Amino acid sequence: MAIVDMGAVYNTYNKSSTATTNGNSTLDKDAFMKMFLAQLQNQDPLNPMDATQMASQLAQFSMVEQLTNLNSTATNLVAKQTGATNAQLLNLLGREAVVKGNTVYLADNKITQASFKVDKDAYCQAKIYSADGTLVKTITLGQQSADQTVVVGWDGTDESGSKVADGTYTFKVAAERADGATVTVTTYAGGLITGFKTDDQGNPQLTLNHSTVVAYADVVEVRTPRDQE
């Protein structure tokens, strides 16, 4: 009497049974084992199952069961990790995130911090621009050392010292060595964390200043807003 391919039967039975038992894998396995035991009890004594083949099929069944359990465990771990990440992100609301960029937000006399690094010692100058690209202010920052974080320090005023309107601004930094060679500049933008969500792949994202969405993986620093220090 040929033995049934237990792995294939288990897979087939598990799929069909799941549709009627709402995914109760324990009942599926129990029912399958009852079927297997019944097959053993009713086998032809003159043509019994081959012991080696039966052992091989049992091992296959065990492997399928282990993979099913592993999948269930992995799903539970992902769910727990997602919950932990969301709880962590919730604690970030109201704090300031620093990401690579060149955006400055001005609202209610509060300005998010703009900063940069140069890869070589250089003389630096920053320019602030309005949303339409108009130059608002030039800030001379002098000689700066390589790999040190330098705060631009804009106070929200224009060249005449008058306060500018609330809104979104950008900044650019020019850096040169004494011989006139241009130096590479990396700029960083700060933004108040006002929300969080996930993208289509489930990766966490932060909403800054109620508008800009950045990947959580791109955040290089989280700190207390300057007005609360």
At 16 the pLDDT is: 47
Whether pLDDT at 155 is above 90: yes
Helix (H, G, I), strand (E, B) or coil at 19: helix
At 152 the pLDDT is: 94
Region 151-162: mean pLDDT is 94
**Mean pLDDT rounded to a whole number for the chain:** 78
Structure tokens that stand for 31 in this block? 């029912």
Local confidence band at 112 (pLDDT 50, 70, 90 cut-offs): confident
150 beta partners: 116
Q: How far apart are CA 203 and CA 214, in angstroms?
A: 11
Helix (H, G, I), strand (E, B) or coil at 112: coil
Region 78-89: mean pLDDT is 55
Q: What are phi and psi of 165, to 5 degrees?
A: -70, 150
Local confidence band at 198 (pLDDT 50, 70, 90 cut-offs): confident
- Residue 151: which of 164, 163, 142, 162 has the closest Cα? 142
Q: How far apart are CA 174 and CA 126, in angstroms?
A: 6
Q: How far apart are CA 151 and CA 144, in angstroms?
A: 11
Least confident of 9-18, 73-82, 104-113, 184-193: 9-18
At 125 the pLDDT is: 97
Whether pLDDT at 18 is above 80: no
The fraction of the chain above a pLDDT of 70, given in percent, is 62
List of domains in the chain: 6-90 (no CATH), 96-228 (2.60.40.4070)
Q: What are phi and psi of 64, to 5 degrees?
A: -60, -45
Q: Is the pTM for the entire model greater than 0.85?
A: no
At 64 the pLDDT is: 63
Residue of higher predicted confidence among 185 and 206? 185
Instruction: Give the model confidence (pLDDT) of 59-78 as tens digits.
Output: 666 676 666 666 666 655 55
Q: How far apart are CA 9 and CA 17, in angstroms?
A: 12
Whether pLDDT at 58 is above 90: no
Torsion of CA 140, 142, 144, 149, to 10 degrees: -30
DSSP assignment letter at 184 = -
- Residue 185: which of 229, 144, 138, 136 has the closest Cα? 144
